[in-house]
Structure 1
Amino acid sequence: MSTKQKILAWVLVLILLVIFAAAWVVQGDRASLDVAAVTGTDPVLEEPKAEAIPTVNIAEPVGWAANEVPAAAQGLAVTRFAEGLDHPRVMYTMPNGDVLVTLTRGPSSGDGGGITAWIANLLMSRAGATGPSPNKLVLLRDTDGDGSADVRQVLRDDLDSPSGIAWNDGTLFIANHDELLKFPYAMGSTTVSGAAEKLMDLPAAGNHWMRNITINPEGTKIYVAVGSASNIGENGMDVEKGRAAIWEYDLAEGRQRLFATGLRNPNGLAWNPWSGELWTTVNERDQLGSDLVPDYLTNVPLGSNYGWPWIYYKDTIDQRVKAPMPAYTNEYARRPEYALGPHVAALGLVFSQQGTTMGDGFSNGAFIARHGSWNRKPASGYDVVYVAFDARGNPQGKPVPVLTGFLTGKGTTKGRPTWVTWAGNGSLLVSDDTAGIIWRVTAPGAQPSAQIATTRTKSLPPQRELRGDPQVRFKEEYARQQVAQ
């Protein structure tokens, strides 16, 4: 075969590979299960279908018409709290009712991800998720109580892909993609003029650049969610150091430690009002088919590990992972408490609390913004859902739609719900990043909800000796016992 023929043959092979890749992108893997089947406390977990090229199904944002709003659940009404914002993501409500919001996108360059991440980034531009980051912290204030913000003030415009916001006792905390900062900030002020003080460095950028934060109820420690730089550690585990984890920073001691690990992309952080535990939403791995793996909502005990990248849902080993699995990972990996559906991109999270005005049907659980899939057929998420909790603080049942209507049914979407927080008057605020809108949801005429009763527990007595099989020894005593109120 001549050199010319060899070159022609290679060109033909490349053309065939491009055609194959394009055909796969168009076809992809179609789900065989309804999203609801892969939600709840006992989701259906199908056999994995490893994909060399991810299924792609991007809903292009087209925006909302001037008189349009999402469809709200029966008994709820939705209005616009603020609009015309440049990619609003995380919101935080101050004790006086002021709403702080970060206008942000990911940093312009990442630190890994390989060809798959590069392709995903290319496709995300169609989903409205790329472009220069506004890098702003904005204050929104409703001075006349009509449910719409009439004051809009930029507090900082020198941030670096900011996301997480928290405030305590005159100090404002902001998480950029690569650092945790604090500023002096008096509640009610329309300026944040003081110099930033860095508390800790964070792993920069990566496939998952958002860094949500929350302060514990005592105001002594701050928690930071840091997502992975890859899907399953395909670029090596060295680039994953400090990632796929939740960090704890001690404000008094000025030091940090890993609080929980093995969480591919933790996002929303909130304190369970029944138990006082930290809970989070987590985006699980891709390229195992449209029915796997469900994103989830779970508690995060100190020292817990949820298995990423080697294991998902406690006992399923991901055979694609090349990195050696640490010893005993399959023994100590925890099972998530509640599945939110495959590829729904669960982000913002808030629990019911005293004074909220969502009505009796939505007064005892968690609200979650499901940002929406880009790699599932048919699309999943693109909504806000409610998960009911029982009297002891455990999730139950299936997710209940709160806001829908974001998808048009024509391969496009009017917006993407991103974050949730409570307004000062008890209504639910929902940021819609691609539409630049913050929605306000409430049940007209509803009485403010009562305070949720904290479940008190007592510790198990110490076991001073073990006889026989330890599993049998602890079986009857393992469940916590509730103390009568």
Structure 2
Amino acid sequence: MQSRLSNCLVPIIFGLFCCTCPAVTGGDILTGQSAFGDYTQDAPGVRRKILATDLPPPFTSWVDTSQPLIPRPENVFPQVPKDFVVELFADDLDHPRLLRTAPNGDIFLAESFADKITLFRRNTTTGHVDKFVYATNDTGLQWPFGIAFYPPGPNPTHIYVANTANIIRFNYSNGDVVARGPGEIVTEQIPSGRMILLTGGGHWTRDIAFTKDGQAMLVSVGSLTNVQAKADDNETDRAMILRFNVNGTNKTQYATGIRNAVGIGIHPETGDLWASVNERDGLGDDLVPDYVTRVKEGEFYGWPWFYMGKNIDPRHNITSYPPGMLEKSRIPDVLIQAHSASLQMSFYTGKTFPKEYVNDVFAAQHGSWNRKKLTGYKVVRVLEENGQATGVYEDFVTGFVTPEGKVWGRPVGVTIAHDGSLLISDDGSNSIWRVWYNGTDTNGCLAQYCSNRHVIVIFLIMLLAFVRSQ
């Protein structure tokens, strides 16, 4: 009897161990001029790879295509890949911006223009999503955007918030739904963007991240202007990522020439800093590409004099840039269609998407306002291998533009929930969308089962050892 049971368990364990969740892959990769499309070519699974050598000459086109948003049409939802499901997570929000998941699973949302941070928690009894106001202007919020938990790990003691003109922090324990008191100012050594008109520059968002070892605080600050065309444009401490001690002291320039890194994040394995960046306007429909890239300390990415390596912005005199800077100008890892407006980014650290997604980047594309044919208005997946970008990105969530070219949604924030789903804030429809995986492989391996397969395998191995010992 023991022998028969043992012989039955062995192939079951082997089968469970070898079972893999299905790969969700895109088709051919669009390259060269084929990669420069518009919203009509967007669809979940479409992949693009744009190289610096593909770029057209400057000033080939220029147009203002800003248009009012329309209400989301009835029964219209974002489009997601096969075997994924999209549903409404929250609505009736006030210009929802950056999202961040707390270590205990609570979801924090910056409603920047309302000077408010809102917290969402799934009620385990009712299944509904409960909403709380965590902090407001009364506790120190002034156009908040970036949110980070310190120290990194499961038990943070503080929440840091990047206002437009300072960094503040709140005492925090897992489970808090309301700030315990006014925020403590950590540093005011960042330039303010609050009173600057946003058109053409004056970027006001500040994102924040802590290094993997918890020893440093990184803060992204966008440029004041589009391209610093005037000598008296004050770009001090702008268009860069700043580094501080966690108490706000010892400010240094971590990386420069980055026009507007709206979103930054730390790779969960390598500890490298990555950034999602808005590039400049005014050089044409397909210039200059936005990008997502790994950023090393001391690197320079060209703004305002150069772009995508050693391409010189013609609005600057050839003698206007400092000596030696052209040689330092780097080409980013992943070039995204110009004017897509790449905002928050998040690494996929969940367990319920297919394994090919692990550590890939999701980046929200807010959408173009000055491109003849609309682009952006989607969430893309940036593919990485062993901690390095492949240069390829894939449309993941699309459909925020009607077939007639009317815009109803604009993705801003992305975060990974504890259940492995992807949450997307949309300040066009004032909503948060939830995307989850419901696929199976040829062996009927459900996504939720795949994420817990190792537990079953361990149990069966222990059972096999017990049987054989009898």
Q: TM-score range by the shorter chain?
A: 0.7 to 0.9
Deviation at 1:449, TM superposition (A): 5.8
1:423-473 residue CA offsets vs partner (Å, 9 max, x unmatched): 1111111000121111111102414669xxxxxxxxxxxxxxxxxxxxxxx
Percent identity over the alignment is 36
Answer yes or no: is 1:92 the counterpart of 2:122: no
Number of equivalences: 388
The correspondence for 2:87, drawn from 72, 76, 79, is 79
Is the 2:35–2:48 Cα contact (8 Å) retained in structure 1? no
- What amino acid is aligned across from residue 129 of structure 2 in structure 1? A
Q: Does 1:254 align with 2:255?
A: no
Give the match's secondary structure for 2:103: coil
Alignment of 1:174-185 (within 5 A): 174-185=161-172
Does structure 2 conserve the Cα–Cα contact (< 8 Å) formed by 1:139 and 1:155? no
Are the equivalent residues in 2 in contact too, given 1:38–1:339 (CA < 8 A)? no
Could you tell me which residue of structure 1 aligns to residue 76 of structure 2? 68
1:446 maps to 2:454: no
Structure 2 vs 1, CA of residues 66 and 99 (structure 1 numbering), >3 Å: closer, same or farther? farther
- Residue 156 of structure 1 is matched in structure 2 by 136
Structure 1 Cα separation of the partners of residues 248 and 137 of structure 2: 30
1:316 to 1:178, Cα distance in 2 relative to 1, 3 A: same
Structure 1 residue 298 corresponds to structure 2 residue 298 = no
CA distance in structure 1 between the aligned counterparts of 2:420 and 2:119, rounded to whole angstroms: 18
- CA distance in structure 2 between the partners assigned to 1:384 and 1:358 by the alignment: 16
2:397 to 403, 417, 422: 403
Give the CA deviation at 1:221.
Answer: 1.5
1:110-189 to 2 correspondence within 5 Å?
Answer: 133-144=113-124, 149-158=129-138, 159-168=141-150, 169-189=156-176
Which residue in 2 is equivalent to 1:113?
Answer: none
Take 2:125 and 2:381, find their aligned partners in 1: how far apart are those partners? 26
Q: Is the 8 A contact 2:334 2:393 kept in 1?
A: no
2:345 is the counterpart of 1:349: yes
Q: Deviations over 1:395-428 (max 9, x none)?
A: 2253211111101133421110011011111111
1:396 is paired with a residue of what secondary structure?
strand
Secondary structure of the equivalent of 2:142? Answer: coil
Contact 1:142 1:150 in 2 (8 A): yes
Structure 1 residue ranges without an equivalent (≥5): 1-30, 105-132, 451-485
Conserved? CA contact 1:430–1:438, under 8 Å: yes
Cα displacement (A) at 1:317: 0.7
Show the counterpart of 2:213.
218
Q: Is the aligned partner of 1:382 residue 2:377?
A: yes
SS in 1 for 2:326: helix
**1:214 Cα deviation after fit:** 1.0
Three-state SS of the structure 2 residue aligned to 1:330 is helix
Which ranges in structure 2 are unaligned for 5 or more consecutive residues?
Answer: 1-33, 39-45, 151-155, 197-201, 439-445, 453-470
- Give the equivalent residue in structure 1 for 2:304: 309
Asked if 1:321 is matched to 2:316, the reply is: yes
The Cα of 1:160 is off from its aligned counterpart by 1.1
Q: 1:294 to 1:102 in 2, by over 3 A?
A: same
Match of 1:330 in 2: 326
What one-letter code is carried by the residue in structure 2 that aligns with 1:439? W
> Which of 180, 189, 192 is the equivalent residue of 1:204?
192
Change in CA separation of 1:246 and 1:193 when aligned onto 2, cut-off 3 Å: same
The answer on whether the counterparts of 1:78 and 1:440 sit within 8 Å (CA) in structure 2 is yes
CA 1:38–1:312: 2 relative to 1, 3 Å: farther
1:45 is aligned to 55
Deviation at 1:222, TM superposition (A): 1.3
Partner of 2:361: 366
> Does residue 16 of structure 2 align to residue 34 of structure 1?
no
Measured in 1, the distance between the counterparts of 2:134 and 2:74 equals 25
Per-residue Cα deviation, 1:125-167 (whole angstroms, up to 9, x for no partner): xxxxxxxx21101111112288752233343243211100011
RMSD after superposition: 2.4
Query: In the alignment, residue 172 of structure 1 is paired with which amino acid?
Result: I
* 1:189 CA drift (Å): 1.4
